């Protein structure tokens, strides 16, 4: 459901967010629901502002129960520094708002109950989103950190797995609450949605990585120069396996070894990427040396 635009970017309400707002309304907590809506909107607007500051185009923002998702056009995931900065903007904004509300409370510029609720909600939003699990902001920071060492594909799978584990824990605590008579629909809803979103992130990683590989030549052209990263691999390894180890902002040289672990050749990242698209994922590294003198 589209509700409007910010800086020309469409704002979309996720059905689960609508369901949560409806639940608050039924419980007679509509003012609290509207405060939560405002906090989530500001949280996502901060992501939008930082993304635009880096010259990135944002297609839309979808508001979710735990925050939101800014759908950014481009390959932000493959520039760890940019992804980290955009991800941190949301929680830092919530902490800033909590600090402002604390000052206003101190000088009685806001009703005490309203100020305390704003402080609590902002701190909860910041703390929850800092958890190192996709699809949360902390998960994106965690992925950016891992990607520099193990590559984007494996970093995404690891951060998304943490998200699924986190969702399972929410489900367990939610079920325990039901058993003990403490109904917490919010926790159960979060468990379902975090698991679903983490699984989606993991599934989309392969497609995003293919897009990244297709644009790798462009990355080299834009940068002009890239640091090299050396890998050593068995000559019979398929190209689909070696690309999992490619790290953003690096140009890879792969040394090939035979069964006796002797170096028998070298292939470059571009040769591997070309083979992946032109000759298929089952092409071995050894096949890439067959045409060389």
CATH number at residue 285: 3.10.580.10
Question: Are 90 and 1 part of one and the same domain?
Answer: yes
pLDDT tens digits for 144-177?
899 888 888 888 889 999 999 999 998 888 888 8
Question: Are 25 and 108 part of one and the same domain?
Answer: yes
The 10 Å CB-count burial string (b at 16+, else e) for 240-259 is eebbeebbbebbbebebbee
Work out the mean pLDDT of the chain and round it to a whole number.
83
Domain that holds residue 163: 148-214
Tell me, yes or no, whether 138 lies in a domain.
no
Q: What span, in angstroms and rounded, lies between the C-alpha atoms of 35 and 101?
A: 13
Question: Are 9 and 111 part of one and the same domain?
Answer: yes
Question: Are 35 and 112 part of one and the same domain?
Answer: yes
Burial of 286 (0-12, 13-18, 19+ CB in 10 A): middle
pLDDT over 90 at 232, yes or no: yes
More confident residue, 252 or 76: 252
Question: Are 37 and 156 part of one and the same domain?
Answer: no
pLDDT tens digits for 29-75?
777 777 877 888 888 889 888 988 888 877 788 777 666 677 776 65
Question: Are 79 and 195 part of one and the same domain?
Answer: no
For 32, the token pair is 């609290």
Q: Do 48 and 70 touch, CB atoms closer than 8 A?
A: yes
Q: What span, in angstroms and rounded, lies between the C-alpha atoms of 224 and 79?
A: 16
pLDDT of residue 67: 64
HEC sequence for 125-175: HHHHHCCCCCCCHHHHHHHHHHHHHHCHHHHHHHHHHHHHHHHHHHHHHHH
The DSSP element (H or E) to which 46 belongs, if any, is helix 30-53
Q: What is the mean pLDDT of residues 84-105?
A: 94
pLDDT of residue 263: 92
pLDDT over 80 at 214, yes or no: no
pLDDT of residue 278: 83
Tell me, yes or no, whether 54 lies in a domain.
yes
Tell me, yes or no, whether 42 lies in a domain.
yes
Q: Is the peptide bond before 102 cis (omega within 30 degrees of 0)?
A: no
Question: Are 75 and 197 part of one and the same domain?
Answer: no
Question: Are 2 and 102 part of one and the same domain?
Answer: yes
* Count of domains for the chain: 3
For 214, the token pair is 């297709």
Tell me, yes or no, whether 135 lies in a domain.
no
pLDDT of residue 76: 63
Question: Are 2 and 120 part of one and the same domain?
Answer: yes
pLDDT of residue 235: 92
pLDDT of residue 71: 72
Other CB atoms within 10 Å distance of the CB of residue 218: 10
Among the candidates 82, 100, 130, a domain finishes at 130
**E strand segments, 15-75:** 57-64, 67-73
Q: What span, in angstroms and rounded, lies between the C-alpha atoms of 18 and 15?
A: 5
Q: Give me the percent of the chain exceeding a pLDDT of 70.
A: 91
Q: Are strands 57-64 and 67-73 parallel, antiparallel or unpaired?
A: antiparallel
Q: Give me the percent of the chain exceeding a pLDDT of 90.
A: 25
pLDDT of residue 57: 77
For 243, the token pair is 């690309």
pLDDT of residue 75: 58
Q: What is the mean pLDDT of residues 193-210?
A: 80
More confident residue, 199 or 21: 199
């Amino acid at each position: 459901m589209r509700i409007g635009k910010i800086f020309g970017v469409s704002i979309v309400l996720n059905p689960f967010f609508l369901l949560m707002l409806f639940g608050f309304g039924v419980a007679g907590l509509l003012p609290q629901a509207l405060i939560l809506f405002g906090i989530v909107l500001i949280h996502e607007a901060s992501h939008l502002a930082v993304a635009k500051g880096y010259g990135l185009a944002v297609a839309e923002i979808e508001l979710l129960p735990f925050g939101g998702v800014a759908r950014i056009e481009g390959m932000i995931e493959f520039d760890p520094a940019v992804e980290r900065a955009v991800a941190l903007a949301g929680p830092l904004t919530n902490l800033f708002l909590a600090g402002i509300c604390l000052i206003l409370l101190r000088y009685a510029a806001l009703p005490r109950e309203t100020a305390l609720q704003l402080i609590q909600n902002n701190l909860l939003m910041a703390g929850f989103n800092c958890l190192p699990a996709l699809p949360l902001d902390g998960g994106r920071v965690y992925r950016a950190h891992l990607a520099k060492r193990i590559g984007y594909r494996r970093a995404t799978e690891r951060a998304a797995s943490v998200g699924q584990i986190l969702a399972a824990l929410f489900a367990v605590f939610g079920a325990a609450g039901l058993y003990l008579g403490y109904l917490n629909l919010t926790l159960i809803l979060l468990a379902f949605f975090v698991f679903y979103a983490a699984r989606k992130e993991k599934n989309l990683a392969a497609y995003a990585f293919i897009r990244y590989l297709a644009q790798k030549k462009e990355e080299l052209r834009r940068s002009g120069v890239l640091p090299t990263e050396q890998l050593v691999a068995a000559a019979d390894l398929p190209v689909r396996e070696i690309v999992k180890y490619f790290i953003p902002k690096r140009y890879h040289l792969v040394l090939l070894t035979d069964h006796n672990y002797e170096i028998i050749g070298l292939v470059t990242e571009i040769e591997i990427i070309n083979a992946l698209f032109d000759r298929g994922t089952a092409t071995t590294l050894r096949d890439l040396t067959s045409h060389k003198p």
